Amino acid sequence: MGRVVIHATMSLDGYIAGPNDDLNWMSDYVGPNKVADEVIGMAGAIVGGGRFFRLIEKRLEQNLPYGGAVKAPVFVLTHHPRGTIIKTGVTFHFITDGFESAVKQAKAAAGDKNVMLFGASVAQMGLRTGLADEIQLHLAPVLLGGGIQLFGQPGTGHIKLERMQVVESPKVTDLRFRIVR
């Protein structure tokens, strides 16, 4: 049975996007990373929020999740019904009946592989609902000073974690935690 994994590259001050939704900051922190390769190899489906999709939508071929290296289906949580689209072999389903439904459908699609939660809103829903099992972060040595925080918004409550793995990759520090129920 696959797990539900919050997966993000995050600055030391907790941001996954800089001011004005900037994602370009991340390019400095992409490089050889065995942990990321393993995590991506286990990705069987992706759940992303509407904001995540709007950010990547404009140049979808260039901005596919995991650079298009994973052909796993993407379940986009949205309020706007829309037909399934396929870009360079990656299928995007648009889910309008809520996060738990999106995770359920993603789990069915992922089989024994993992469901990856993308973006702050979906990550926080994973924490609030108790559906997230793990957190896999690539911690970038930078302070962005503003933007969108992965965990920042209050409301998820006090959640204990268990450290599972720490790896010093060349450009980031990979941290993996299990969420303790």
* Pairwise CA distance, residues 166 & 177, whole Å: 9
Chain positions 94 to 133 lying near its own copies, rule: CB under 8 A, are: 127
List Cβ neighbours of 176 (8 Å cut-off, separation of 6 or more): 35, 134, 135, 136, 137, 163, 164, 165, 166
Beta-bridge partner residues of 71: none
Site residues for its own copies, 1-40, by CB under 8 A, read 12-14, 18-19, 25
**Which lies closer to its own copies via its Cβ, residue 69 or residue 143?**
143
For residue 145, the one-letter residue type is: G
Q: Which of 67, 82, 111, 161 binds its own copies (CB under 8 A)?
A: 161
Residue 175 within binding range of its own copies, rule CB under 8 A:
yes
Q: Describe the crossing of helices 120-129 and 99-110 by its angle, rounded to 10 degrees.
A: 90
CB of 62 to its own copies, least distance (A): 23
Which residue ranges make up the site for its own copies (CB under 8 A)? 12-14, 18-19, 25, 127, 135, 137, 139, 141-146, 149-152, 154-163, 166, 168, 173, 175, 177
